[in-house]
Amino acid sequence: MAKTKSQKSLSAWSKQDWGYVTRGDEKKPKSKRGRYLPKKVRQSLTPAQRAATNRKKRKAGGVGTRAKYSEKVARKVGSLAKLIKYLDT
């Protein structure tokens, strides 16, 4: 049985190399961790953007809370998603 469009998208999303923006965050308690982003997005962020997005995420709190991406980070995540969608078709 062939995968649906949303299943293909989820597969592509999960195959990306995901990790924390700051090294060592995986060892910290969840409430102290920073952003968890795909590798291409992490590499494209400037040091100031990394610091800002981590501050925003950590300020949002612990497990189960969400902090919205800043506009610049959201654009990078969105453009990566569009690229993946384009490559899948």
Write the pLDDT tens digit of every residue in 23-75.
888 888 877 888 888 888 888 888 998 888 888 888 876 666 666 767 777 77
**How many whole angstroms separate alpha carbon 27 and alpha carbon 11?**
27
Q: What is the DSSP letter of 36?
A: E
Residue 83 is predicted with a pLDDT of: 62
Give the DSSP letter of residue 69. P
Strand partners, 19: 37
Q: Which helix (H) or strand (E) holds 37?
A: strand 36-38
Listed by start position, the domains of the chain span 17-88
Quote the pLDDT of residue 71.
Answer: 75
35 burial (CB, 10 Å; 0-12 / 13-18 / 19+) is: buried
**Rounded (to 5) percent helix, strand, coil in the chain:** 60, 5, 30
